[in-house]
Amino acid sequence: MSLQEINQKIYFIRKHRVMLDVDLAKLYGVQTGALNRAVRRNRLRFPPDFMFQLSENEAEVLICQIGISSWGAS
């Protein structure tokens, strides 16, 4: 993934710059589920604000920003 592609995958949510799990997984060459499991198993290695789940409203806003995607906006 090029630097430009990475920059396009960064969104502004809750006053923070964030990347979606699906994009991080692609960046690291792993499956999304495997990335999420690894983070859950090793929570103490990450800062408290490393991961959060979008509210329904936030998900709708994000879908509007990036359009309907092949990953289903999960």
> Domain range for residue 49?
3-66
The domain total for the chain is 1
Q: How far apart are CA 66 and CA 13, in angstroms?
A: 13
The confidence score (pLDDT) of residue 41 equals 93
- Is the residue at 20 inside a domain? yes
The confidence score (pLDDT) of residue 69 equals 53
Q: Please list the pLDDT of the chain residue by residue as tens digits (74 residues).
A: 789 999 988 988 888 888 888 899 999 999 999 998 998 899 899 888 788 878 888 888 777 776 655 555 44
- Is the residue at 9 inside a domain? yes
Q: Which two tokens stand for residue 37?
A: 């499991």
Q: Read off the DSSP letter of residue 54.
A: P
The confidence score (pLDDT) of residue 50 equals 80
The confidence score (pLDDT) of residue 74 equals 47
The confidence score (pLDDT) of residue 62 equals 77
Helices 21-28 + 32-41 axis angle, to 10: 100
